[in-house]
Amino acid sequence: MMSVAIALPDSPPAPGTLCFYYGDERICVERSHRQSKVDRVLIKVQPDCRVLVQAPVHASDEDVLQAVKKRARWIYQQLREFRAQQEHVTQRRYISGESHYYQGKQYQLKVIASPEHKQGVKLLRGSLEVSVREQNPDKVQALLNDWYRHKARDVFARRLDVMLDQALWVTGRPPIRILTMQTQWGSCSPQGRLTLNPHLVKAPRECVDYVILHELCHIAEHNHSERFYRLLKQVMPHYEAVKTRLDAMVGKILT
């Protein structure tokens, strides 16, 4: 007896989401308004495979979809690349022998379990040494996260001081908040406060500089307008290559 496969209907898109098909794949994009006089539609594919679209307020959803479809092949290729990166990511178990990153370099994790040891993390001779009273991966992870957060505060503060010499439009020293985020490396509040992801300290220094400069540019340009990207390119001409490098590391440093 022949069986017939019946495809389940696609779930309705969330509000503000537009969907289209590229071949057999349904691709959904999250639309937001672009606060700019430029009528162009700006498309971004995030490492977590979200597709973001900024479009002028007056543009209809149909017009936005037509613009997105013209870039459908590029969007599909970006999604394939990010998905391929995710497939090769192995979930960390926080046991000795694993590789962990700090400032762009790989370090081997060494877990020392002893009731007499003071619990903490040390960076020694190419390894990250974590001392715990008993074998407990959750405790090892918590200690590492605290260590990364502490290091991030120091590293980000030093790099902000260096980047401020290039960001001549910034008056005063913006405050920094450290916050773990799943889909952002950083953000800038309307008041000029920078929020940075502590996981970013695992990336090379140049990537840290890129994220800080990106957020400092938002103090001058509060959205991703053409002027924003012109400003970013002025202070970091090769920012696109650095962003690509950082995006390629997402699976290695966010797990």
pLDDT at 240 over 60: yes
Average pLDDT, the chain: 87
Confidence at 89, pLDDT banded by 50, 70, 90: low
Q: Where do the DSSP E strands lie in the chain?
A: 17-22, 25-33, 42-45, 51-55, 99-102, 105-113, 120-124, 127-132, 176-178, 186-188, 194-196
Distances 211 to 64, 74, 128, 151, 181 between C-alpha atoms, Å: 28, 24, 25, 17, 14
Residue 214 host element (H or E): helix 205-220
Q: What is the pLDDT of residue 255?
A: 67
Whether the Cβ atoms of residue 124 and residue 137 lie closer than 8 Å to each other: no
Query: Which residues belong to CATH 3.30.2010.10 in the chain?
Result: 99-253
Mean pLDDT confidence for 70-95: 81
Average pLDDT (154-176) is 96
Tokens of 125: 């001779």
Domain with residues 99-253, CATH architecture: 2-Layer Sandwich (3.30)
Across the range 23-31, mean pLDDT stands at 89
Tens digit of each residue's pLDDT (9 = 90 or more) over 109-144: 999 999 988 999 999 988 999 999 999 999 999 999
Pairing state of beta strands 105-113 and 99-102?
Answer: antiparallel
As a whole number, mean pLDDT of residues 231-249 equals 93
Q: pTM value?
A: 0.70
| Size of the chain in residues | 255
